Amino acid sequence: MSADTLLIGAVAYHERVVPIWEVFREYFNAQGIAVDYVLYSNYERQVEALLSGRIDIGWNTNTAYVRARHESGRPVRILGMRDVDSDWATLVVTRKGQGVEKVSDLSGKRLALGSRDSGHAAILPLYYLAKEGLNPSAGELIRFDTDMGKHGDTGDSELKVLRAVADGKADAGAVGAPIWASLKNKADPLIQGLEVQWRSEDYYHCNFTCLDSPEQGPLSRWSEALLAMDYNDPGLRNAMDLEGVKKWLPGDENGYATLAQAMADQGYLG
Amino acid sequence: MTSPPAEAATRSLDAGDIEFGDGLEILLSTVFQSAEPGQTIDVATSSRATALELPGWARSTGHSAEQDWKETNQDGQRFIVRVRRGDVTPVLAPDLPARGDPMPLRLGTQFHTSDLISAAPERIPDSADPSYGLVPLGSIPEAGGPDYAWRLNRHDDLWAEDLTDLTERATSSQWDATSDIPWSEALDLPEEVEQAVAQVMTFIASNEYVALYVPAKFLPRVNAAFVDILMWLASHINDEARHVEVFTKRALIGGQRGYALASTQMSLHSLLEEDDFSSASLLLNVLGEGTFIDLLGFVSRNAPDAATAACARLAHRDEQRHVHFGISHVRRTQKLDPDSTSQLIGAVEARAAKLATLTGLSPVLLESLTILASGSARTAELRRGAAAVNELTKLMEVNRIRRLRAAGFDLETSHYLSELHTPNLM
């Protein structure tokens, strides 16, 4: 490993992470940017590695980014995000025909949430619903804390949320808009009796995070190469589909203000 | 929900109350594909839930939702989402060309394979890229598929005149080894005759195995661009599978069993080793199956029962196609490349060298053929049967030389190759 190889951290939330990064590594290397990747089993370990300089770039969830920014003690920089990260949203769904017109109609109902460390399926839903005047008590919340450390990436807790609503064990559930779109696209029977009642404002989701340092040249070149990835390149399409991206965008810190506030309010930032 | 934008969209779509999962995604896909990248489309729906799902659909399909608002009129509420079309191409290939002419039909209803090959919008190439995919004739391949590694990539190395007509005939003359043979006719033969028939049928079945394996060995090496060759080889394989079936059935139907002779195995094994397509065609189609045509003709004429005769007659019809292909292919190969002649001769010589220890047709088989043709083991009939077998041997040689001549070899070479041909017949 040469000293000028950029080391990228990613969390192994699924087997597909390996083929994705094998293709991406080849792509960057072909651009003349030496890159390698290292996989972590959870975002906490990855943030720790980023802050201690063991990796140069972390492919972070929004929650991991906010934590890294909070804990770094110095500025962090965003090198890019997926198109899908630029207008992520949380949906609240119910069974069809529940007569829910607005969020406050869910008052006193049982609300299912995804993993406790998921920004989109647990932290932000509580924050937004509170802004809409809905503050479910602990007894009204049904939490599915699965795959902890992966911040909801596996989608497992969201599927459990939807199952709970479909089975009548919860009256409403919070999930990310992408998983709902994906289940809709394949006409998944799980959601056929469900409908969307509410959609949050858009917020940012994952990003590539690096520490701000005087030597930003290689990182800037890496970012430019990332943004130049072409979904119409046959060699990249499959890996980009697996990563759920059609276009990489620059990203900025403005899309994380709400989550940072929500994490602070809910005691996630110590 | 915000207020309507001041600027009008490029176009609009009233989706009514159709929802995702009920066909809305198809409607949207059609409309967005016909729009240009960057254009905006106002999608109106009477369903609030659908309006809330539209941004997620847009993102997952490479577009982006920009704004949404609500309108109220006498019909009630409409929710509108403005979506900007992205520049994602769903299929990594050029646009489909304009619709062309329909394919020709014969007698107003029949779509012949040779017409498909000649009228398809793309010609079958003379040589094809070894990495070519499983791309049906006339279709447009999408970029990004895996690279294949076909070994047979020159059409001339595999083709023969009449190939598609032969394939057509193979398809139209299929038969059923279960119900097209009068099996009950085979049940009452005397023991010595049944034993002889079982031995001859076992011998034929063994030989049909190699006729099955040889084309089957080459088929997966053939470039997928050569669909005419693939269809031919598949029909050949299908024929031979049925021959294995029918002769195995005939061998066993009377309760008798025959020997799978080592000399037969040795001969067939050497045929399976040939790795050049044209050489294998000479050895199998011209020499082997050619000689077998005479054997099958002999069996159908002399069989002691109608079932055995029917098995031989139907297989004979199929083998004629295979022999026709072989003669036509070998003749063409020599015409296109005169140097190929020595290679073809070399293949026959090499096989003969491997079979140097085989001195003649097995006595077990000769005996069985004689009894089969005699219809009994009595002296008077045996004389007639032996004469018929002698006639067969002569006929095989005459016809073998005739076929070699038709395949483009001169008279002297034809005699030489016929001499070298395996005494095992196939």
Rounded CA-CA distance A180/A105 in Å is 22
Rounded CA-CA distance B253/B183 in Å is 8
pLDDT at A215: 77
In-domain check, residue A164: yes
> Residues A49, A122: one domain?
no
pLDDT (tens digit per residue) in B66-86: 999 999 988 789 999 999 999
pLDDT at B425 over 90: no
B56 CB neighbours in chain A (<8 A) are 89, 91, 177-178, 180-181, 184
pTM of the model: 0.84
Cα separations in angstroms, B130 against A219, B124, B226: 41, 14, 12
Interface residues on A facing B, Cβ-Cβ cutoff 8 A: 83-84, 87, 89, 91, 177-178, 180-182, 184-185, 187, 192, 195-199, 202, 231-232, 234-235, 237-238, 246-247
Which residues form the domain of A259?
6-85+204-265
- Judged by phi (left if over 0) then psi (alpha if -120 to 50, else beta), residue A211 lies in beta
Please, what are the domains in chain B? Answer: 11-84 (3.30.110.40), 155-420 (1.10.620.20)
A185 CB neighbours in chain B (<8 A) are 25, 57, 60
Backbone angles phi, psi at B167, to 5 degrees: -65, -45
> Residues A81, A208: one domain?
yes
In-domain check, residue A193: yes
A155 three-class SS: coil
B399 three-class SS: helix
Smallest CA–CA distance, residue B315 to chain A, in Å, is: 49
Rounded CA-CA distance B375/B365 in Å is 15
> Residues A134, A176: one domain?
yes
pLDDT at A3: 65
Helix (H) or strand (E) holding A75: none
Cα distance between the two ends of chain A: 36
Rounded CA-CA distance B426/B418 in Å is 12
A247 CB neighbours in chain B (<8 A) are 62, 86
Report the chain B residue with the minimal C-alpha distance to residue A246.
B62
Residue carrying the six token digits 């920009």: B66
> Residues A110, A195: one domain?
yes
- CB distance A20 to A59 below 8 Å: no
Rounded CA-CA distance B140/B86 in Å is 23
Dihedral (Cα; B408, B411, B416, B420), 10-degree rounding: 50
Rounded CA-CA distance B287/B37 in Å is 64
Cα distance between the two ends of chain B: 82
> For A141, how many CA atoms within 13 A lie in the half-sphere containing its CB?
19
> Residues A108, A180: one domain?
yes
Task: Flag residues of chain A having pLDDT under 50.
Answer: 1-2
pLDDT at A97: 87
Last residue of some domain: A141, A173, A199?
A199
pLDDT (tens digit per residue) in B226-261: 999 999 999 999 999 999 999 999 999 999 999 999
- Number of residues that make up chain A: 270
Per the structure block, which two tokens stand in for A72?
Answer: 């770094």
pLDDT at A1: 36
> Residues A98, A193: one domain?
yes
Q: Helix B379-406 vs helix B411-420: angle between axes, to the nearest 10 degrees?
A: 130
Of B191-200, B341-350, B376-385, B386-395, minimum mean pLDDT range:
B376-385
A192 CB neighbours in chain B (<8 A) are 21
In-domain check, residue A270: no
Last residue of some domain: A199, A221, A256?
A199
In-domain check, residue A146: yes
pLDDT (tens digit per residue) in B194-227: 999 999 999 999 999 999 999 999 999 999 999 9
> Residues A45, A58: one domain?
yes
pLDDT (tens digit per residue) in B107-146: 999 999 999 999 999 999 999 999 999 999 999 999 999 9
Would you report the helix, strand and coil content of chain B in percent, each value rounded to 5?
55, 10, 35
Per the structure block, which two tokens stand in for B20?
Answer: 């995702």
Interface contact B56-A180, CB threshold 8 A = yes
Kindly state the average pLDDT of the residues B375-379.
87
Residue among B268, B249, B262 at smallest CA distance from B197: B249
Residue among B414, B410, B411, B368 at smallest CA distance from B392: B368
pLDDT (tens digit per residue) in B297-335: 999 999 999 999 999 999 999 999 999 999 999 999 999
pLDDT (tens digit per residue) in A95-123: 998 878 788 888 999 999 999 999 999 99
pLDDT at B1 over 70: no
In-domain check, residue A1: no
| Cα radius of gyration rounded to whole Å, chain A | 19
Query: What single-letter DSSP state applies at residue A270?
Result: -
A194 three-class SS: strand
Rounded CA-CA distance A238/A44 in Å is 29
- CB distance A23 to A130 below 8 Å: no
> Residues A178, A218: one domain?
no
Q: What is the mean pLDDT of chain B?
A: 95
The CATH code of the domain that includes A257 is 3.40.190.10
Smallest CA–CA distance, residue A86 to chain B, in Å, is: 10
Residue among B194, B96, B183 at smallest CA distance from B141: B96
- CB distance B124 to B111 below 8 Å: no
Residue-by-residue DSSP string for B91-133: SSSPPPPPP-PPPP-BTTTB--HHHHHHHSSSPPPSB--TT--
Interface contact B21-A180, CB threshold 8 A = no
Interface contact B52-A91, CB threshold 8 A = yes
> Residues A155, A183: one domain?
yes
pLDDT at B4 over 50: yes
Residues 6+ apart with CB under 8 A from B269: none
Which ipTM value was assigned to this complex?
0.88
Last residue of some domain: A145, A165, A199?
A199
Smallest CA–CA distance, residue A187 to chain B, in Å, is: 6
Kindly state the average pLDDT of the residues B375-390.
91
Residue-by-residue DSSP string for B294-305: HHHHHHHHH-SS
Residue among B14, B40, B36 at smallest CA distance from B27: B14
Q: What percent of chain B has pLDDT over 70?
A: 100
Smallest CA–CA distance, residue B68 to chain A, in Å, is: 12
> Residues A81, A212: one domain?
yes
> Residues A93, A151: one domain?
yes
Pairing status of strand A111-113 against strand A35-40: unpaired
In-domain check, residue A126: yes
- CB distance B83 to B43 below 8 Å: yes
In the sheet that holds B40-45, the strands lie side by side as B11-14, B40-45, B76-84, B64-73
> Residues A158, A237: one domain?
no
CB atoms within 10 A of CB B28: 22
- Report the domain count for chain A: 2
Residue among B322, B188, B217, B331 at smallest CA distance from B275: B217
